[in-house]
Amino acid sequence: MQSKASSVEQYLKALDPDRRAAISAVRDVVNANIDRAFEEGMQYGMIGWYLPHSRYPAGYHCDPKQPLPFAGLASQKQHMSIYLMGLYVGPDGGPKGQTELSRWFQSAWERTGRKLDMGKACVRFKKLDDVALDVLAQAFRRLTAAKYVEGYEAALALSGKSPNGKSPRGKSPRGKSPSAKRAAKAPAKPGGSSATSVAKRPAQSSATPPKPVAKLRAQPAAKALAKPAPRRKAAAKR
């Protein structure tokens, strides 16, 4: 269920009180733990987190005008969903194209005693108590922007694709992707993204949410090229 809201605030305001409280709590956890290289805004009709063009100029290979999607949070008709594309970047040959991170995520979630209703990179929930917030927080802390880009480009290269639509890029002599370095180190530039940063940019629309890179088989994501960003102090309570 896509929203036409042009900002995260508008999106939240349009929700009923119960949904707004649950979505806001999950959003707070994401914002408290996500690598600060990512930006938050409206993307594909939902709350999204992405690498802006100022950090990853190639954008999303399926639609280069869009910044590279990383996660999403939405209120659907029958449930709420959080989309975790980063969990499936760089499949390492496990069952169903899973990664080391996705296997850890499922195992850690199940150990909390909560049922995991998960599709391909999509976790569905009907109330906040269904969400293992501590596991969600750890998942975002484990995957930096640089590591995400490394896995994303490795998956594209093995599929015969590249972010710019040309032949797959090679790696630098040290095996580190130039784009990953840029994602980790380049300072953000105002207005560099085509998606909507909170309360700043016009809304984008698209028929479907981004496809996870899970279907593009790749090697394990390379070692993070930069230290994780400091955690934000405030995290949502369950």
pLDDT tens-digit profile of 144-171?
999 999 989 988 887 777 676 555 444 4
> What is the distance between the alpha carbons of residues 11 and 128, in angstroms, rounded to a whole number?
18
Q: Other C-beta atoms within 10 Å of 17: how many?
A: 7
Task: Decide: 45 and 201 in contact? Cβ < 8 Å.
Answer: no
Going along the chain from its start, the domains and CATH numbers come out as 8-215 (3.90.1150.200)
pLDDT per position as a tens digit, 112-146: 999 999 987 899 999 999 999 999 999 999 999 99
78-114 residue pLDDT tens: 999 999 988 887 656 555 667 888 999 999 999 999 9
Structure tokens at 178: 């130039």
pTM of the model: 0.71
Q: How many CB atoms lie within 10 A of CB 28?
A: 16
CA distances from 138 to 76, 104, 111, 170 (A): 25, 10, 14, 31
Cα dihedral sign for 217, 223, 225, 228?
Answer: positive
